[in-house]
Amino acid sequence: MAYAKLVDVTICTGCRGCMVACKNWNDLPVDTRDYQGSYQSHDKPNGKTWNVLQMKEYENQSGGFEWLFRHQACMHCEEAACVKVCPEVAITTTDMGNVVIDQEKCVGCTYCVQNCPFGIVELAEYVNADGEKAERAQKCDMCNDRIHEGLEPACAVTCPLDAIVFGTKEEMLELAKERLEEAKLTYPDAQIYDPPGVDGTNMIYLLAHPPEVYDLPPNPKVPTSAVVWKDYAQPLGKALLGVTTMAVFTGFITNKLFNKEGHGHDTEEGGEINEETKQ
């Protein structure tokens, strides 16, 4: 059964409690950034800071001024591009719907970094059991250890106003619909963000304004190259080729398909959005 977080930006006060709770529970390292003239501490989540509170000044259609706050973290897509492009099967979706990275299997190839339609995944230093350091992909795993023990993610527990709520996907969608009716009284453009281009996400937003206002892609999609590789080329290759040949074939094809600096990378909407997000 899939579980999800509902993030209701219409009642978020920007307290940053979710950021502190995430840092504490996941024992994430210090990630000091130079002051950029903004109240926002980081421009986006990264390998050392898995969730960031977006703080944005916004002039609405009535000419009024609003502060917009948004909890940013991995969206845990149902059809996750990072899962599809990983050549080492280091990124998987659990039985609860959250997307996790096995950093012992990760080789730091950056295909997940380059193909995430939300620009969330980044590399950060990882120290293995032998004390060896390497750059590995890291991101929010929805507190995988907690939710598999029947607990809520740390960010949801900490939120004082229930702007972040955790439960089954079905429950969260129902709650989102209930809150949407009330939100529309104040925000006529309020909407639920659960994009179909990635078969929905297991972090759902209740937005006060269209997704573009919050720097979210309106219609994120998994790059076609990732779908073709994971669902067709890879299974066929394994069936037809020996192990050694398949390893060479895998390295060649994944580099052509998923490396955006290569000539073979797909440049459809999902990839273009990611490039914009990275900027």
Chunked into runs of 10 residues, the chain (279 residues) has average pLDDT values of: 97 97 96 80 94 93 90 98 94 98 94 94 89 94 98 98 98 98 96 97 98 97 73 60 53 60 44 41
Q: b/e for 133-153, b at 16 or more Cβ within 10 A? A: eeebbbbbbbbbebbeeeebb
Structurally, at CATH architecture level, domain 1-219 sits in 2-Layer Sandwich (3.30)
Q: How far apart are CA 236 and CA 229, in angstroms?
A: 10
| Residue 231: predicted pLDDT | 63
| Residue 223: predicted pLDDT | 80
| Residue 261: predicted pLDDT | 52
| Residue 264: predicted pLDDT | 43
End-to-end CA distance of the chain: 36
| Residue 272: predicted pLDDT | 42
What is the helix (H) or strand (E) element at residue 139, kind and residue range? none
| Residue 237: predicted pLDDT | 58
| Residue 127: predicted pLDDT | 87
**Structure token digits, residue 104:** 């012992």
CB 43 within 8 A of CB 242: no
**DSSP letter at 239?**
H
**Structure token digits, residue 228:** 């073709």
| Residue 137: predicted pLDDT | 97
**Structure token digits, residue 68:** 């917009």
- pTM for the structure as a whole: 0.82
CB 74 within 8 A of CB 120: yes
- With tokens 């067709």, the residue in question is 232
Q: Is 245 exposed, middle or buried (0-12, 13-18, 19+ CB in 10 A)?
A: exposed
3-class SS of residue 109: coil
Q: How far apart are CA 199 and CA 221, in angstroms?
A: 9
